[in-house]
């Protein structure tokens, strides 16, 4: 099954694909549906032909995994991690399909793309063995783990470099786990301005999805709605010769097999401040 979050008549709604047709659900809370809530199709309503898709983000903790593809590690010249390299991705960095990745030139000159498979957790998980770790997956979506390379290098950890506003595009939809029975056989491709820059497969991961879930669950309780960005294959701009980075006017597209294409324009910041 495929689930989308979308803006419909001014409201955030959920839709499921039913025999090739998208139909709105009566339920509007993605977190509740991910946690096993009922899914009742609102047969009276179909979404408009071109709905505004919203990030299919249930609102949980976002875990990032660094250095998790063998070819990427080779690009970067790092040793292969012995255990998964974890970093947090802030919830305030999430944007949906077609929403802009905003690059603040006062913060970074090196915004880079990372097309990834993202795992949506569906059941509470603590100390889960690898053998049944995939039972805790609700579904999968695509992610672009936008990374400010200069900021990443400047800090001993990656909170700032990975967590900037708009630096976590997710979408376009969630494909439930039953439709992706083997998450280690999924093609991931990324384009920038129509030029393919990444073409990898999750088979190349150092730590596969079930290992990541088991490892994370030994340290943290995983909750329904938590998201795991599982790392990116070779082809990031920062490790090209010469390096390439995102600029306002660019467009990124991440396509994950079985999920679809996550497209985002890149825009310059409009400096805003908020005060009470
Ligand atoms: Mg990444």
- Dihedral of CA atoms 32, 37, 39, 45 in degrees, nearest 10, equals -30
Give me ligand 1 centre to Cα 20, in Å: 32
Give per-residue pLDDT as tens, 127-143.
999 999 999 999 999 99
Question: What is residue 269's predicted lDDT score, i.e. its pLDDT?
Answer: 85
Question: What is residue 76's predicted lDDT score, i.e. its pLDDT?
Answer: 82
Give me ligand 1 centre to Cα 22, in Å: 31
Question: What is residue 267's predicted lDDT score, i.e. its pLDDT?
Answer: 97
Give per-residue pLDDT as tens, 52-100.
899 999 999 999 999 999 998 988 888 999 999 999 999 999 999 999 9
Give me ligand 1 centre to Cα 35, in Å: 26
Question: What is residue 17's predicted lDDT score, i.e. its pLDDT?
Answer: 87
Give me ligand 1 centre to Cα 126, in Å: 24
Give me ligand 1 centre to Cα 52, in Å: 26
Question: What is residue 35's predicted lDDT score, i.e. its pLDDT?
Answer: 96
Give me ligand 1 centre to Cα 147, in Å: 8
Question: What is residue 20's predicted lDDT score, i.e. its pLDDT?
Answer: 77
Give me ligand 1 centre to Cα 87, in Å: 9
Which residues, in sequence order, are bridge partners of residue 11? Answer: 8
CB environment 104-127: b (16+ within 10 A), e (fewer) = eeeebebbbbbbbbbbbbbeebee
Give the dihedral sign, CA 72/223/148/145. positive
Give me ligand 1 centre to Cα 116, in Å: 7
pLDDT beneath 50, residues of the chain:
none
Give me ligand 1 centre to Cα 115, in Å: 7
Give me ligand 1 centre to Cα 89, in Å: 10
Give me ligand 1 centre to Cα 19, in Å: 34
Is it true that domain 62-268 has CATH number 3.40.50.720?
no
Give me ligand 1 centre to Cα 161, in Å: 11
């Amino acid at each position: 099954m495929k689930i989308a979050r979308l803006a419909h008549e001014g409201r955030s709604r959920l839709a499921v694909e039913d025999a090739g047709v998208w139909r709105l659900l009566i339920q509007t809370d993605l977190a509740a549906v991910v946690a096993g809530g009922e899914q009742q199709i609102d047969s009276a309503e179909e979404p408009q032909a071109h709905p505004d898709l919203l990030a299919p983000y249930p609102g949980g903790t976002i875990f990032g995994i660094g250095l998790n593809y063998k070819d990427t590690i080779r690009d970067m010249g790092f040793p292969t991690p012995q255990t998964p390299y974890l970093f947090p991705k802030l919830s305030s960095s999430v944007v949906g399909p077609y929403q802009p990745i905003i690059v603040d030139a006062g913060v970074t000159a090196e915004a880079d793309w990372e097309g990834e498979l993202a795992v949506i957790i569906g059941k509470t998980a603590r100390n889960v063995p690898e053998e049944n770790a995939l039972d805790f997956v609700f579904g999968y979506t695509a992610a672009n783990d936008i990374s400010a390379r200069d900021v990443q290098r400047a800090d001993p950890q990656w909170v700032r470099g990975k967590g900037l506003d708009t630096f976590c595009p997710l979408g376009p939809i969630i494909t439930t786990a039953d439709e992706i029975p083997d998450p280690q056989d999924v093609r991931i491709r990324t384009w920038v301005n129509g030029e393919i820059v990444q073409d990898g497969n999750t088979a190349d991961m150092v730590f596969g999805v079930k290992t990541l879930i088991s490892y994370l669950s030994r340290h943290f309780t995983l909750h329904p709605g938590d998201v795991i960005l599982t790392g990116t294959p070779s082809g990031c701009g920062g490790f090209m010769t010469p390096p390439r980075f995102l600029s306002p006017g660019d467009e990124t597209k991440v396509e994950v097999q079985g999920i679809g294409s996550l497209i985002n324009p890149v825009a310059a910041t409009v400096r805003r401040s908020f005060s009470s």
